[in-house]
């Protein structure tokens, strides 16, 4: 949720990746699929998307399916999928976070599968703050001194930062200042405050590894709907993909991931593992996922 790459660059990256035939999987696959072109899978450059994508491609490897991967920014991959240059786009955030892209390209896209539900963005506090009566964004008003007048954010210009600026206006929280930081900086500050049971409010979203690593984090309720409510993590496909590749489409239908599992993989990525290795290690601990998706139970 933190990348804002110029569209021109995104399109160039996608074009080069498609021409160069990306990262391919196993050389052999099921008999029905061996004579067909590899499926082109788009992976958004967000940690949660990469975590889920590499679990899925790890399962494809086990099943012997051929595929290519293309990693780029959100807008470029939406456009490429709508145009048919990408077959499958993994872990989009709909209907809220990526609504602008769906509004632009949705007529040429298919919502193939809801992988996870309950994804969201907003303001988050420790449970001891929540239990004291600060349960909604409205409750922040009049309590700025307890938070040092600060909302701890992430990179300037990120979508959640822009939305939080709007929330400050909508809820008349003029006594607060939104502080820009980095995602890592925000998480470090949050952990320090938790360790000392000090008050803090941060911009955050789920899935995010902080929810797996830090206990007792609570989203503030947003009665005015500034942050847009809950999202789903959705796999999109290009027009006609279901008809062209029904067997592969069925694999998508079989694929689901719990937010807690996604976050556990994100922790490993944050600790320095590659997304591929983190996903492979998770699959090694959850071999039942192969049977679940490949239909070999």
How confident is the model over 162-183, as pLDDT tens digits? 999 999 999 999 999 999 999 9
Q: For residue 201, what pLDDT band results from cuts at 50, 70 and 90?
A: very high
Q: For residue 30, what pLDDT band results from cuts at 50, 70 and 90?
A: low
Q: Do 107 and 131 fall within a single domain?
A: no
Can you give the pLDDT at residue 1? 45
Q: Do 133 and 203 fall within a single domain?
A: yes
Can you give the pLDDT at residue 36? 80
Q: Do 11 and 111 fall within a single domain?
A: yes
- The reply to whether 237 falls in a domain is yes
Q: Do 20 and 101 fall within a single domain?
A: yes
How confident is the model over 251-281, as pLDDT tens digits? 999 999 999 999 999 999 999 999 999 999 9
- Residue 290 CB partners (closer than 8 Å, separation 6+): 59, 62, 63, 283, 296
Can you give the pLDDT at residue 82? 98
- The reply to whether 224 falls in a domain is no
For 196-218, the DSSP string reads: TT----EEEEES-HHHHHSS-EE
- The mean pLDDT of 191-199, rounded to a whole number, is 98
**CATH code of the domain in which 101 resides:** 3.40.190.10
CB of 51 closer than 8 Å to CB of 212: no
Q: Do 112 and 144 fall within a single domain?
A: no
How confident is the model over 145-157, as pLDDT tens digits? 999 999 999 999 8
Domain count, the chain: 2
**CATH code of the domain in which 183 resides:** 3.40.190.100
Range in 4-13, 96-105, 267-276, 278-287 the model is least confident about: 4-13
Q: Do 124 and 245 fall within a single domain?
A: no
Domain C-terminal end among 165, 185, 219: 219
CB of 87 closer than 8 Å to CB of 24: no
- The reply to whether 52 falls in a domain is yes
- In 3D space, the residue among 238, 258, 241, 259 whose CA is nearest the CA of residue 250 turns out to be 241
Q: For residue 27, what pLDDT band results from cuts at 50, 70 and 90?
A: very low
Q: Do 14 and 88 fall within a single domain?
A: yes
Residue 206 pairs with which residues in a beta bridge?
120
Q: Do 166 and 142 fall within a single domain?
A: yes
Is the pTM higher than 0.75? The answer reads yes
> β-strands 177-179, 150-152: how paired?
parallel
- The reply to whether 128 falls in a domain is yes
How confident is the model over 222-254, as pLDDT tens digits? 999 999 989 999 999 999 999 999 999 999 999
Can you give the pLDDT at residue 159? 84
- The reply to whether 165 falls in a domain is yes
Can you give the pLDDT at residue 295? 87
Backbone phi, psi, residue 45, to 5°: -85, 50
- The span from the CA of 282 to the CA of 263, in Å, is 11
The region that residue 24 occupies, defined by phi over 0 for left and psi between -120 and 50 for alpha, beta otherwise, is beta
- In 3D space, the residue among 247, 219, 250, 16 whose CA is nearest the CA of residue 118 turns out to be 219
pLDDT of 11 > 90? The answer is no
Domain C-terminal end among 164, 199, 219: 219
Q: Do 111 and 256 fall within a single domain?
A: yes
- The reply to whether 226 falls in a domain is no
Q: Do 13 and 113 fall within a single domain?
A: yes
- The reply to whether 74 falls in a domain is yes
- The reply to whether 1 falls in a domain is no
pLDDT of 297 > 60? The answer is no
pLDDT of 34 > 80? The answer is no
Range(s) of the domain holding residue 140: 120-219
Helix or strand holding residue 149 (H, E): none
pLDDT of 22 > 50? The answer is no
Domain C-terminal end among 175, 196, 219: 219
Q: For residue 14, what pLDDT band results from cuts at 50, 70 and 90?
A: low
Determine what percent of the chain is predicted with pLDDT higher than 70: 88
Q: Do 127 and 109 fall within a single domain?
A: no
Can you give the pLDDT at residue 269? 93
How confident is the model over 44-79, as pLDDT tens digits? 988 899 999 999 999 999 999 999 999 999 999 999
Q: Do 74 and 40 fall within a single domain?
A: yes
Q: For residue 194, what pLDDT band results from cuts at 50, 70 and 90?
A: very high
Backbone phi, psi, residue 21, to 5°: 65, 30
- The mean pLDDT of 131-144, rounded to a whole number, is 98
């Amino acid at each position: 949720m933190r990348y804002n790459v110029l569209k021109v660059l995104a399109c160039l990256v996608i074009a080069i990746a498609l021409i160069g035939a990306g990262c391919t999987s196993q050389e052999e696959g099921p008999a029905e699929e061996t004579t067909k072109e590899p499926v082109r899978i788009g992976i958004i450059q967000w940690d949660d998307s990469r975590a889920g994508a590499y679990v899925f491609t790890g399962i494809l490897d086990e099943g012997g399916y051929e595929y290519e991967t293309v990693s780029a920014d959100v807008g470029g991959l939406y456009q490429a999928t709508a145009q048919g240059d990408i077959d499958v786009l993994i872990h989009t955030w709909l209907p809220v976070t990526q609504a602008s892209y769906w509004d632009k390209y949705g007529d040429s896209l298919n919502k193939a599968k809801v992988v996870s539900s309950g994804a969201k963005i907003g303001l988050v506090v420790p449970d001891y703050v929540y239990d004291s009566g600060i349960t909604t964004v409205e409750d922040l008003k009049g309590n700025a001194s307890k938070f040092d007048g600060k909302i701890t954010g992430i990179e300037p210009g990120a979508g959640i930062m822009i939305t939080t600026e709007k929330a400050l206006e909508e809820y008349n929280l003029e006594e607060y200042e939104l502080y820009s930081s980095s995602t890592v900086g925000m998480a470090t500050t949050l952990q320090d405050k938790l360790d000392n049971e000090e008050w803090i409010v941060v911009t955050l979203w789920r899935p995010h590894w902080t929810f797996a690593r830090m206990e007792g984090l609570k989203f503030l309720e947003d009665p005015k709907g500034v942050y847009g409510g809950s999202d789903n993590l959705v796999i999109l496909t290009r027009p006609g993909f279901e008809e062209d590749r029904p067997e592969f489409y069925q694999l998508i239908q079989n694929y689901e991931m719990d937010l807690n599992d996604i976050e556990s993989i994100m922790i490993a990525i944050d600790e320095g593992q590659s997304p591929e290795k983190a996903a492979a290690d998770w699959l090694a601990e959850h071999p039942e996922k192969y049977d679940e998706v490949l239909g070999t139970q």
